[in-house]
Structure 1
């Protein structure tokens, strides 16, 4: 099976890492293709220089050198290489190694990743070299070649005193390094921040990367930095039109003139092209009223510049070429065609908290919500409402295609998605406002727009709620704090009890108060303790969906709620997916979960 693939800068060559699983061993091959012809194949397993090649977005890369003769990638180091990473109890030379020694990994979604190493494959020679010189206190990833082809850039994450979960966490201590092929390493950034997404301009003169605070909220506004004394794009406050950078830069985000960086970012309920690094803005695509809006920009990475900008909407696809510098305001968007996947109307709402719900430390903040309904509703018909709560908590819903929402609307539900205070896209102040107010501010934000159930088209007696992770936590709080409002609840891997989560989560720092090289986050631990407080008020039937291999929120969290509800005779059903993790992302799991959610809601709303 194809594992990773990457085109060379000219587009003439394509590298593919392929993995085949036999009855006994897993074999890895690096293939180089040209014009659909296989030019070279390296048996990585037979060369035995490293373990499994990394394919994830956190560490992984497959980067061509400018001369197109070498490839840079990241793989799991051989344990003999990684002995310096282990504890002081490592065996001395000549002593047998104990196979039962525990090796830390990087948590949820990265459970097979422990000791990453940078590797260079020489296509012509058919050799693989593990680069030496990476500082022993960091784990390298996100590598790319310098323009001269004699050194590489990479991000190094600190793994002392122990590894913490990296997935969805842009707040881990890390730095940008330059390593030459002789093993000489230099730190190019500060070493007290969090760094990611290094991107080199086509002419090799400029290197930009994203930088954020260490610890604090696990997802937050990031600043764009450049390795030179140029102005930096800093995180905004809540009053600026630009709402900040929250996600990785595209792999090829530079324009061919090496003067412009193109990316998308969240702004309120939308994902947009913000003012870019050299202060230009693309003309927005043509409006398309009455549909779910536009999804993020997708760039053509395969071809040489100019990049092609493609936007996919629910019922619209548009494309444009990036113009020359100065002409961004006159982008010409061409329609590729329309489809009728779903007749839906999306209402984008701006919501202000009541004076009683204002955060005195961060006053004046508002938040957003999306109400999605069908446009084929017969007159005088009322539809049930699903309140869909996002996790994170520092993430958001975008006004774009969401398959869960789309199918729920197709099945006759209206769907309300709330970007409560603390969601991304509303500035750093909004994110910081949630600290210390989890379980109160976010719960009230989600509940206030639920008054939309008073609209004539919505049935106020048929409101249900669903969410996962922190969204599951909020859903459980909602049915506990407002027991007569919701008629059913469906939650995936919900946070239930901070006391039991502290020792089991891969991001235990999220819940800690003291600075022990982990996050001194000042959230209220008691807000998470549902079982002894909120749970006793729950009346709504609860459907629990848990991943048996969840490293972020232990399945025992959900089991604790299950047993508590069972002991009280409350309607509850538990689905345990033993081979799935926190996101419940396997295709069969997603299908199973969705069908069960719909049937659960239909059953308890007495729908046919």
Structure 2
């Protein structure tokens, strides 16, 4: 077989640029039905997309509209209505219940030394009817636009908007600072600053807690209401001081608001990707300011969704502590009686029909028109499927099981029209639509493509089932639980393929069978890619998640290697050309593999690696996980014992770094709050001192996930170069010289 022709730097960049051009869907909204003179119906479909723009080094957003013709039972025709247009500076947007109005939160860059401003706009079809300068009103600080706290909710009367913002903080200055009062802020009688505006002396450097990784600008959220007619903003009172509110919506009669409240006493722990934090569903009566807890006293709840008839409230509920992400319950509250029932409970062992709920966010519009059924997307083993839940019968129907697409996400469900996006490892996201049939007749669903994308040639994929051997220790169920791995491969004509092994981070996460441009690019470079969902991954039941507790650094490492050995035995792979590519806890697993099998892997590229567990206790926003992962109890007041530190150190890759011989590339973000970049720096120094080839990439503005178009592209280029270089396939420039 002829050796592969090396790629030039320009060809490598063009390959990534080509695969990054495929946009993804972020939102969709349907307009009300319009009846034609021939008796048919059609509605408009507004969609928002995002796409990497490497030239501008940013993610751009654009919108496109479509027309959906249907007869109430099926979609007859769908097609575009106009061309795409870029969306500028929009942070949030939401259509009103009737679809006649749209609210937009927009950022406006400040002039010269002015700070960025935020405006809340109201649009009526093709004209802007309101534009409120929230910054000038000075009722609060920046409005939240994140997925954790943020919301933009219309009242049912369409006269008010509800949102979440950072609480306005009093000005602070030095004990020794002295200046004249600002114009318009002095007391008329004394000439001194007003008491409420007077700066707090000596408090400009007081520490203010935040909610950790990706939420470093979120400290004290407040609920705010904009009166559209009165052009006024009010900050709601009556929320207990020990709660941080978010994810708010209006009560059925508009006389109150429903929100999620997170306990933040005695201090805040990291909240991103952590569904185990104490929180509750609350109702705040706007007249009496009475705040009522609607959910269980000690639980972790999120994502409330009100039914179209206003009678039922769905939300997700999990247990406190333990794994940061877990199998959740679907709970339902009857509004009038305040009675709560469990619609779907935690699934310990998955069945073919249902593996449990693992999503942390329900779609904004997930209810069917009958206010009885709801649709949501969640991992089911190594797929993400759409499930239809009958809340009265407490039954589940998988609407997408067995489809050729491995990842389905619901964008919106309005007037029983389902709009979704689907993708697979070789198929970029497509936009599809269908009509939800009456109860009991949901299957089979006939999806109609609205915006279809062709498959990417040169990539095949399959799901491998891996069964660990019985160890004779612990519950037998834990020893025999199967797990899976996704194998992406180039054409067989290029076999045997070098293999890149990727255990996921988390560890409570999952590689589902979705489109990933970087993995597709590796396949196009000639690599096979193994995405390992070791025991402890989401989508395989709560028992599988719990099985990893006390066994990190052991079970997850053994599972990953077992998946590799099985793939080598059953697939056309080269056992002498193996590499590791992973991040966070996946990098933790990879480092253990390098130490336990120093000659097995020829290259390794890691992002935000966990290498020293005890050092994370004082540097991570989630110190509780360091205890829970090893089966140790955690409490807010706990300080580590010598025995704890010893246990953590012995499970840490840094303790075994002396055995590593494989060349290692490290990529870290200087602003990582979850895994300190000092972990990678310490590892870099140890490996370098021992003569191991090692390179460190340091991204000054990068966080834990190292997001951002420029950062992601740079990491891909460096990782691909590193793998090609050390797997015996040199990456050569046009001059034929090896890259440095």
Partner of 2:215: 110
- Please give the alpha-carbon distance, in whole angstroms, between the structure 1 residues aligned to 2:614 and 2:233: 47
Is this contact kept in 1: 2:104–2:121, CA < 8 A? yes
Match of 1:478 among 573, 593, 599: 593
| Contact 1:139–1:159 (CA under 8 A) maintained in structure 2 | yes
Q: Cα–Cα, structure 1 residues 173 and 456, in superposed 2: closer, same or farther, change >3 Å?
A: closer
**Superposed counterparts of 1:374-523, under 5 Å:** 374=490, 376-378=491-493, 381-451=495-565, 452-455=567-570, 457-512=572-627, 513-517=632-636
Are 1:224 and 2:330 an aligned pair?
A: yes
Pairing partner for 2:374 from 246, 261, 266: 261
Query: CA 1:296 to 1:284, structure 2 compared with 1: closer, same or farther past 3 Å?
Result: closer
Q: How far 1:207 sits from its partner (Å)?
A: 0.5
Deviation at 1:310, TM superposition (A): 4.2
Q: Which residue of 2 aligns with 1:85?
A: none
Distance 1:391 1:357 in 2: 28
The match for 1:213 is 319
Whether the 8 Å contact between 2:386 and 2:410 is mirrored in structure 1 is no
User: Do the aligned partners of residues 275 and 2 (structure 1) sit closer, same or farther apart at CA in structure 2, a change above 3 Å counting?
Assistant: closer
1:526 has 2:649 as partner: yes
Alpha-carbon distance in structure 1 between the residues aligned to 2:127 and 2:272: 37
CA–CA distance in 1 between the matches of 2:316 and 2:569?
44
How far apart are residue 514 of structure 1 and its match? 4.0
Partner of 1:576 in structure 2?
A: 698
Runs of 4 or more consecutive aligned structure 1 residues displaced over 6 Å after TM superposition: 518-523
Q: What corresponds to 2:297 in structure 1?
A: 191
Residue deviations 1:247-302, cap 9 Å, x none? 111111111111111001111111113352432525437743xxxx332223236x
Q: d(CA) in 1 for partners of 2:471 and 2:401?
A: 39
**Separation of aligned partners in 1, 2:680 and 2:485:** 27
Matched, 1:155 2:260: yes
- Listed as ranges, the matches of 1:82-93 within 5 Å are none
Q: Which moved more, 1:441-450 or 1:340-349?
A: 340-349
Counterpart in the other structure of 1:87 = none
Change (3 A) 1:527 1:334: farther
Displacement of 1:475 in angstroms is: 1.0
Aligned to 2:467: 352
The RMSD of aligned alpha carbons is 2.3
Deviation at 1:340, TM superposition (A): 3.1
Counterpart secondary structure, 2:653: coil
> Do the aligned partners of residues 516 and 284 (structure 1) sit closer, same or farther apart at CA in structure 2, a change above 3 Å counting?
closer
What secondary structure is seen at the aligned counterpart in 2 of 1:431? helix
Q: Over residues 367-398 of structure 1, what are the superposed CA-to-partner deviations in whole Å (9 max), with x where a residue is unaligned?
A: 11111112x3326x321100011100000111
Query: How many equivalent residue pairs?
Result: 591
State the 1:147 CA deviation: 1.2
Counterpart check, 1:294 vs 2:294: no
Larger Rg, first or second structure (1 or 2): 2
Q: Is contact 2:329-2:342 (8 Å) kept?
A: no
2:664 corresponds to 1:542: yes
Partner residue in 2 for 1:235: 346
Partner in structure 2 of residue 88 of structure 1: none
> What's the CA shift for 1:230?
3.7
Which gives a bigger RCO, structure 1 or 2 (Cα 8 Å, sep 6+)? 2
Q: Structure 2: 5+ residue runs without aligned partners? A: 1-88, 173-195, 334-338, 731-740
Contact 2:374–2:390 (8 Å) recurs in 1 = yes
SS of 1:261's partner is: strand
Q: Which moved more, 1:309-318 or 1:234-243?
A: 309-318
* Contact residue 350 and residue 356 of structure 2 kept, 8 A: no
Match of 1:370 among 476, 482, 486: 486
Q: Aligned equivalents of 2:106 and 2:472: distance in 1? A: 54
Counterpart of 1:246 in structure 2 is 358
Answering whether residue 424 of structure 2 is matched by residue 334 of structure 1, we say no
Q: Specify which of 26, 29, 32 is matched with residue 122 of structure 2.
A: 32
Aligned partners of 1:61 and 1:74 also within 8 Å: yes
| C-alpha spacing 1:516/1:168, structure 2 compared with 1 (3 Å) | same
From 394, 397, 401, the counterpart of 1:281: 397
Q: Distance in 1 between matches of 2:200 and 2:537?
A: 52
Residues 81 and 133 of structure 1, relative CA distance in 2, 3 Å threshold: farther
